[in-house]
Chain A
Amino acid sequence: MIEVKHLTKTYGSITAVDDVSFTVATGEAAGFLGPNGAGKTTTMRILTGFMPATSGTVTVDGFDVFQDSFEVRKRIGYLPETPPLYLEMTVRSYLRHVGKLKALPRGNVNPAADRVIEECGLEQVAGRLCGHLSKGYRQRVGLAQALIHQPAVLVLDEPTVGLDPAQIIEIRSLIRGLAAERTVILSTHILPEVQQICRKVVLINGGRIALEADMEDLVRKGSLEQEYLRHVTGDANFGTSPGTEAAHA
């Protein structure tokens, strides 16, 4: 479904993403892991057509993100790191606006908004201003806007960051439900999240792919934490010694 080939992105002299290649199969949920500043957000922004790559190609469902940008955009639902809300709009009118932008047929805009309001559990706050919502609800509205055009692919950039534990559990279970019928790329640095939701792991570090593996194989060999720390720190014994427990949190 998603094919990333030799993707490179430079900002001036800084290389944010360096020759990154990976694939995600249809219906697969892939966890996109890496420390802060590893290039996760940059990769996702290129993948969703937000910005062009310096070199390399990305195809989604056979369409090139640069050449057939609109075809790709119609197939992708994207939740950026901060949910893209217009704070002075109510949840319902915001979702309707997004529905129009996503080129839903005229008669489908309102039903689609109602559908995602129900899917994401927003009935209670549908009439409230986005700017008055708690962070957890804003994240849900962000998910709702990503789902409104029923995309085959969902790209989620750190969807649980900054939420309280109860909200994290809620959002996670919501995503797990969504992942059942869609291709999902989930970026995060919370390892248990990936373990719960994803079947595949793509680990990026310093702009390069450090690891691309199936979750099952990975867990069979050891724990996800160990693999992560081994690749990110480059120390084979990292994570086996005491004192690194803090990293699990």
Chain B
Amino acid sequence: MRNVLAIAWRDIRAVFVSPIAYVVLTGFTLLSGWFFFNMLGQFNRLASQYAMLQGMDTTWLNLNDAVIAPLFHNLLFVLLIVIPMITMRSFSEEKSQSTFELLFTSPVRIGEMVLGKYLAGAFLVTLMILLAFVFPGMLFVFGNPEPGMTVAGMLALYLTALSFVAVGNFTSALTSNQIIATISALVILLLLFVISWPAEGAGPTVAGVLGYLSVSNHFSKMVKGVIETSDLVYFGSLSGIFLFLTHRAVESSRWK
């Protein structure tokens, strides 16, 4: 455990002594604010327009469905692009420099390296998401969105982001080239988004499997306020599987 924390702490510090952390945090907060501002503006316009019309069904026009849910969907897309860039250094940089030799000639288990790197990535991602949560949080001061649904959406965004970190670490463990690591992670993540596309034309079993594998299905369901055990299991196992694959990838790189 001490090694896990030592490795995580070193990586976190490396990100914070360079401009990386500040650029990422500022950029992400800026984008979140921009999305939020525009969605809220649109909500305002629609609300004032609908106020003049009588007898329209306006149940969908609430802060949760019209502001918070689309905001989370947009943030997820930004995370999909940013997280591979955060995690690309994790193993690739050590591999391209001789620090990998330091790790492997020290009494450190591979599992400890993998967990340490994962924690470091998760730490920065946690900060990013906490900053972005300020915006939906503001709605609770000035309006009355539904807390349960909002929290479910926050949980969805956080769990998805954590599994993205695991995927990013995995591709970083495969190569010493950071660009290859980023692009491979991006490809895997995008595939996980669109994997359910052929489901429409497929038989019920295949459609079920593809639907279950899709990140967007689980995410959308949770953002709507439905937390099922299967969704939690899905995100948990996504992280778990990719952490395991990272372990294998790091181990195999010694044998080459």
Contact = CB atoms under 8 A, between A and B. Distances in A.
Interface of A: 11, 45, 48-52, 70, 73-74, 76, 78, 80-89, 93, 97-98, 100-103, 106, 145
A82 B100 CA distance: 11
Given A50-B254, A89-B13, A45 B107 contact: no
B97 A84 contact: yes
Contacts of B3: 100-101, 103
- Of the listed residues A52, A74, A86, A103, the one surrounded by the most CB atoms of chain B closer than 10 A to its CB is A86
Contacts of B14: 86, 88-89
A49 B254 CA distance: 10
B46 interface: no
Interface string B72-92: 000000000000000000000
A80 B99 CA distance: 9
Nearest to B101: A80
B105 A85 contact: no
A78 B102 CA distance: 8
A176 to B, nearest CB: 23
A98 B7 CA distance: 10
Among B103, B105, B107, the most chain A Cβ lie within 10 Å of the Cβ of: B105
Contacts of B107: 70, 73-74, 101-103
Contacts of A80: 98, 101-102
Among A48, A103, A106, the one with the most B-chain Cβ atoms within 10 Å of its Cβ is: A103
B106 interface: yes
A130 to B, nearest CB: 11
Contact of A88 (B6, B18, B255): B18
Contacts of A81: 98
Task: Tell me the dominant secondary structure on chain B's binding face.
Answer: helix
Interface of B: 2-3, 6-7, 10, 13-14, 17-18, 97-108, 254-256
Contacts of A83: 98
B255 A98 contact: no
A181 B107 CA distance: 23
Which among A11, A98, A100 has the greatest number of chain B C-beta atoms within 10 A?
Answer: A100
Given A83-B98, A84-B99, A88-B17, A49 B105 contact: yes
A98 B99 CA distance: 10
Contacts of A85: 97, 99
Contact of B254 (A52, A76, A88, A106): A52
Given A51-B254, A73-B106, A101-B103, A84 B98 contact: yes
Contacts of A84: 97-102
5 contacts: A82-B98, A86-B14, A87-B97, A101-B6, A102-B106
B143 to A, nearest CB: 44
Contacts of B254: 50-52
Contacts of B101: 45, 48, 50, 78, 80, 84
Residue among B3, B13, B17, B106 with the most chain A CB within 10 A? B106
B97 to A, nearest CB: 7
Given A84-B99, A89-B14, A50 B105 contact: yes
